[in-house]
Amino acid sequence: MNYIGFSLIGLLLLQLSVSFCVYYIMAKSTGAQVGFYGFTVDGYYKTMVDIRKAIGGSAYIESLPLLFATLIGNIVPFLFCVRGVDVGITQLFSRPKVSGGTSAIYGVIGLGGSLVAGIVINIISLLLRLVNLKMTTPDLNIPWQSPLSAALMIITAVVIAPLTEEFICRGIILTVFRRYGDVFAVVASSLVWALLHGNFIQGVPVFVMGLFFGMLAVKSGSILPTIILHALNNALSLIESTVIKQNSMPISLSVSIFNLSIIAAAFALFIAYYKKIKNVKRGESKSGFKVFFTCVPVLIAIIFCVAITVLSVQRV
């Protein structure tokens, strides 16, 4: 558990530092005079404000830092973690023990569940606006004006993020946590995945989807199916966010109908396959959660993620 905790801390620190360094280099490359206000939280934010102003017109403002932060921050700490927890990488990417049809069933149920969770969290978001609060989430607009920058954004979201996040959450973390039973492993790995997103709008749907992705990983003995499903989900999200910005009623209506169809199919499949889906080993779940929430490195990582998530709710 300590290896997992230290790896999560390393992930968070690397993502923060790598993205900061890339932003800083980008700002300097424009010839802008950017001051550095120290290593305090206040100093960090002041520096980032200057950097944002300096590169505000750049098409690479989000895509390049996101690419490096995801690639380096996600992979490096958990490559060291693999040695400590003795998890075979080849085993994680082995041939799945389930058919493509079974993977599709879990994928549809997971996507439908996340859509329902998304509706619920959006309703809560609307209610929060009544008290002058709003939930924020990273706005990953694809910069179509720059083909290279758009390609970097798509590759990060559809290829790198699914590969690295599944390697971390459904690969290493779930595999290590299974010593306390499958239920604990699925729930805890989903919780970690949700918290790493750092906001409620993404985190709640991600947690629900993670439950079914986790069950699929346990059943298949491989993360290949979840990587594919994760990539498809991210691709659909990018397409949906892009077409909705067209402000076209027919397009918005088509997206709504598609989402409702997925929810209906997910509900029907969940009812039909409920007994098979819930067939996981419970194990020592209580002991697992006790260790999880008392392990100091894990607790530090969780507190940091929770703090970032809470700060994503801002006053209007």
Residue 40 has what pLDDT?
A: 66
pLDDT at 249 over 80: no
Let me know if 139 is exposed, middle or buried by CB neighbors in 10 A (0-12, 13-18, 19+).
exposed
* Residue 88 CB contacts under 8 Å (≥ 6 apart), including other chains: none
How sure is the predictor about 150, in pLDDT bands with cuts at 50, 70 and 90? confident
How sure is the predictor about 60, in pLDDT bands with cuts at 50, 70 and 90? low
Residue 37 has what pLDDT?
A: 67
- Determine what percent of the chain is predicted with pLDDT higher than 90: 47
pLDDT at 57 over 60: no
pLDDT at 161 over 90: yes
pLDDT at 158 over 90: yes
Amino acid (1-letter code) at residue 289: F
Q: Name the more confident of 207 and 179.
A: 207
Residue from 79, 102, 101, 106 nearest 92 by CA = 79
How sure is the predictor about 17, in pLDDT bands with cuts at 50, 70 and 90? confident
Burial pattern 2-27, b for ≥16 Cβ within 10 A else e, equals ebbbbbbbbbbebbeebbbebbbebb
pLDDT tens track for 214-236: 999 999 999 999 999 999 999 99
Q: Could you give the CA distance from residue 201 to residue 178 in angstroms, rounded to a whole number?
A: 28
Tokens of 274: 């409920």
pLDDT tens track for 30-52: 666 666 666 665 666 677 767 76
How sure is the predictor about 58, in pLDDT bands with cuts at 50, 70 and 90? low
Residue 38 has what pLDDT?
A: 66
> How confident is the model over 17-21, as a mean pLDDT?
84
> How confident is the model over 194-214, as a mean pLDDT?
94
Residue 285 has what pLDDT?
A: 76
pLDDT at 142 over 70: yes
pLDDT at 213 over 90: yes
How sure is the predictor about 165, in pLDDT bands with cuts at 50, 70 and 90? very high
Q: Could you give the CA distance from residue 146 to residue 82 in angstroms, rounded to a whole number?
A: 38
Dihedral-angle region of residue 283 (phi above 0 means left; psi in -120 to 50 means alpha; beta otherwise): left
- Determine what percent of the chain is predicted with pLDDT higher than 70: 87
pLDDT tens track for 73-130: 999 999 889 888 888 888 889 999 998 999 999 999 999 999 999 999 999 999 999 9
pLDDT tens track for 167-200: 999 999 999 999 888 899 999 999 999 999 989 9
Residue 106 has what pLDDT?
A: 94
